[in-house]
Structure 1
Amino acid sequence: MPIRYHIDSFTIFEQTLVVEGWLFADDGQVVMLWVEHPNGARLPLDYGGPSDDVVQALGPAARDCRFRYRGRSPFTAEDTSALVLHFQLADGRVGQEVDFIRTTLLREPIHQLVAQFLHELSRQEHGQVVELGARARSGVTRRHLIPPRFDYLGVDVLPGPNVDLVADAHALSRYLPPASVEAVFSFSVFEHLLMPWKVAVELNRVMRPGGLGLIVTHQAWPVHDAPCDYWRFSATAWRSLFNRATGFAILDARVSDPAYLVPKVAFTDRITHQSADNFQQSAVLFRKIGETRLDWEVEVGELDAGQYPV
């Protein structure tokens, strides 16, 4: 049966669960809503809260369609991918949504930006597409996202699965010819680059005029792959890397995946309340508009950064 919904929050922390969102059935009235795990654990949700914001989008019938729960969690964080959202209508019909959290995630701005990148790329006839940090460390590859008429090149600083070229992004122009790349993209790489400004210049050298780029990284994320974890990026930070001086124009920049920042010890002079803005992801879509004369004649080995990379 046709329904529309959105999960505003589904947070499990210290055995406490916070669930908030809305659900609207196009051809019936929802009277009951619950979340269930295949092992039988079940959590009824409080349904029927005011939803003036949803009414503005879907019309008067969508009033009082919000739901929420705040209390002890019958699930663990590891359970979330297996949970199923169930609902019952006034006429007795029962429906369910599998992987409902992932469905909500796919509506986040970063996923929309990835879709825009792939759409823009699909309008090109051919060319070389470079993925920085292509090594399938956790089994994830994105080669299949690129249309087969393009020449995909997986680049990584270390050899491994899905790596076609071992190269440091800080010296990319030593490995690729000038103006030879149609598009470049990376996921969860820029936070691990010692000098991302140097990489921006290197990208300009190897990309063709009009070439397209997509960078997805973090605005807030736990330290990982230490000690080679250096940077976090806001939506506005990208202007310092991709600008007219470096030879680029930003088409769009976004943050998504809202998150809480919860300290182990709370102080009154720290901004830790619920309304504080934090986002897990940050991304930028950009295009090369010209050449750059900028350079940063510093090698990674000169920075006394220890073992790089790990």
Structure 2
Amino acid sequence: MHASSYKNMDNFVDKYLSMFENKNLEIIDIGSQDVNGSYKPLFSNQNWHYCGCDIAVGKNVDIVLNNVYDWSNIESSSFDVVISGQAFEHIEYFWITIMEIARILKEGGLCCIIAPSGGVEHGYPVDCWRFYPSGFKALARYSGLELLEVYTQWNEQLYPDYDPAWKDTVLICQKPIMTMEQKQKFNLKNKISKSILTLNI
């Protein structure tokens, strides 16, 4: 994990979670395996429960996903905060991942996703994508999440802590209160998105 990614997540905690210091929060980190650092120290508040989640057993991994795109071992609406950093560029079908993030978020819950807009190819095991604000805005719309903030750290003048190679893009969203009809439509959309992956063409 590069320093600017950690700083961006620190900024998210300071701006969006500091008012919940005395509230119990369930927080899950998607792609949490500690390869060269993790966000866990940022969520050490005694009232917060941090849970690391990844696709394989490893350091800082509490939950191993049963399926990369169908998180059946994580209940819907079970987390107050979902974070993910330096994972989305490695996810082949990230539009399904954002739907699962929206599914496991509680209504009113927050998510923060950080991914590079630049940088060299770094397969772990694959490196598929780079993200810009327009792309993250589209993901928010696709998943029904309300956009709170999105930015790319393009230059040092605007973002003193930016990394000139990776130029992080940051997405911060909130899950809205949903009607029963909206929940049914969301669940159907999520189910169809997953089922398409199993079609043999």
Q: TM class, shorter-chain normalised?
A: 0.7 to 0.9
Instruction: Give, in angstroms, the shift of residue 203 of structure 1.
Output: 1.1
Secondary structure of 1:213's counterpart equals strand
Match of residue 285 from structure 1: 172
Unaligned runs of 5+ in 1: 1-101, 260-277, 305-310
Any conservation in 2 of the 1:114–1:214 contact (CA below 8 Å)? no
For 2:127 and 2:200, the matched residues in 1 are separated by 15
For 1:229 and 1:112, the matched residues in 2 are separated by 21
For 2:62 and 2:50, the matched residues in 1 are separated by 9
* Shift in CA distance, 301/159, structure 1 to aligned 2, threshold 3 Å: farther
For 1:199 and 1:120, the matched residues in 2 are separated by 23
Match of residue 115 from structure 1: 11
Instruction: Give, in angstroms, the shift of residue 123 of structure 1.
Output: 2.2
Q: What is the identity, as a one-letter code, of the residue corresponding to 1:284?
A: L
For 2:87 and 2:116, the matched residues in 1 are separated by 9
Paired positions, count: 178
Match of residue 219 from structure 1: 117
For 2:197 and 2:175, the matched residues in 1 are separated by 25
Out of 70, 78, 81, the residue aligned to residue 171 of structure 1 is 70
For 2:9 and 2:48, the matched residues in 1 are separated by 20
Q: What is the identity, as a one-letter code, of the residue corresponding to 2:168?
A: Q
Of residues 123-132 and 288-297 in structure 1, the stretch that sits farther from structure 2 once superposed is 288-297
Q: Percent identity?
A: 20
Match of residue 128 from structure 1: 26
Out of 238, 263, 267, the residue aligned to residue 136 of structure 2 is 238
When Rg is computed on C-alpha atoms for both structures, the one with the higher figure is 1
Aligned Cα RMSD in Å?
2.9
Out of 63, 87, 95, the residue aligned to residue 189 of structure 1 is 87
CA-to-partner distance for each residue in 1:226-278, whole Å, 9 max, x for gaps?
A: 651111111111122112x522011111111549xxxxxxxxxxxxxxxxxx9
Instruction: Give, in angstroms, the shift of residue 166 of structure 1.
Output: 0.8
Higher percent of residues as strand: 1
For 1:215 and 1:144, the matched residues in 2 are separated by 17
Higher percent of residues as helix: 2
Match of residue 106 from structure 2: 208
Secondary structure of 1:220's counterpart equals coil
After TM superposition, the score normalised by the length of structure 1 is 0.51
Match of residue 55 from structure 2: 157
Instruction: Give, in angstroms, the shift of residue 299 of structure 1.
Output: 7.2
Instruction: Give, in angstroms, the shift of residue 302 of structure 1.
Output: 6.5
Match of residue 152 from structure 2: 255
Instruction: Give, in angstroms, the shift of residue 117 of structure 1.
Output: 3.7
For 1:196 and 1:141, the matched residues in 2 are separated by 21
